Structure 1
């Protein structure tokens, strides 16, 4: 039967695997971001990679990513930015920029709404998964308790039968004792006194 400790260990192991996969995904996205920044002719920095993909902490503390960023920075310092890949600067009117900004704000609001909905869904799904695992553990615990209860009920029934047998023997012994005393009294009375 499953115990609560086993279920907890399974959840911890599953969480470790998810965290490891998340780290691999973040590393891959970070390395792709570094390559993209170099290809676009944008100066590579820890902050630029962190903004593009993950957190600043991750890019500094993941040795593979930090090494690649330092190499890209050194390469750009030594050879300069790749001018051929640098996009041309285009002149844009203020009205076009305002329209672009308004559109970006609407899109950002929609993305935030979608993010909140997804976060809620994930929280509910995670809660259901945890509840399901807890239910399995609880079922196993209930089955263990029921088995223990059945064993104890059997032991109590056997003890009651034994006690009833002993009570019956005690009554019979008391009846025999009473009969023996009565017989002794009669025998004593039947014996003539020496006077």
Structure 2
């Protein structure tokens, strides 16, 4: 197993552990909300438990323990005559309060966008660093290979130049020998009667 695979496995294990811990925390909050709603005599529903526990409705429906707790609470309220307290009456919202709520929501959205951008930037940096680390090792290996090839080629070039110089000397010597032989041949031809 390579170092990259073991670090990936470690990250996956940490993420899995964090998800399990988060899920346990959400389940605890949802159970407390069910209990609090029953104790307060307020109507229990899947959507209300999800909203007040600050979890998704999907989580409430798909966690068998929470789903059973909500169904049991709803059945208790329906079949055992548990009085459900009347929902508190809300005053009508005024245009000014709606504008205030809208402004607050707008600010919250801006904060969330800033947080999202900051998290996005952190993720990009983390991924970039991870890519840089992987690429850096590859680059070091590639540079070492290129330096080795360069040394081999430099040695071959030196050897080739040495051979070329030797061959040039042999050529010059051969040309001198040929020139000497031609002169000797001419003299020999002139000497023949």
Pairwise same-fold verdict (TM > 0.5): yes
- Comparing 151-160 and 30-39, the one that deviates more: 30-39
Supply the RMSD in Å over aligned alpha carbons.
3.8
> Deviation at 1:170?
0.7
Question: Per the alignment, do residues 49 and 73 of structure 1 end up closer, same or farther by CA in structure 2, a change over 3 Å counting?
Answer: closer
Q: Deviations over 1:7-34 (max 9, x none)?
A: 6985686367336523531442134213
- State yes or no: 1:32 paired with 2:48: no
> Deviation at 1:174?
0.8
Consecutive unaligned residues of structure 2, counting only runs of 5 or more, are: none
> Deviation at 1:127?
1.9
Alignment of 1:89-100 (within 5 A): 90=88, 94=91, 98=94
Consecutive unaligned residues of structure 1, counting only runs of 5 or more, are: none
Cα separation, 2, equivalents of 1:170 and 1:107: 90
- Comparing 120-129 and 167-176, the one that deviates more: 120-129
- Residue aligning to 1:181: 178
- Residue aligning to 1:161: 158
| Structure with the larger RCO, 1 or 2 (CA within 8 Å, 6+ apart) | 1
- Comparing 34-43 and 166-175, the one that deviates more: 34-43
State the TM-score, normalized to the length of structure 2.
0.68
State the TM-score, normalized to the length of structure 1.
0.68
* Contact persistence 2:31–2:66 (CA under 8 A): yes
> Deviation at 1:50?
4.1
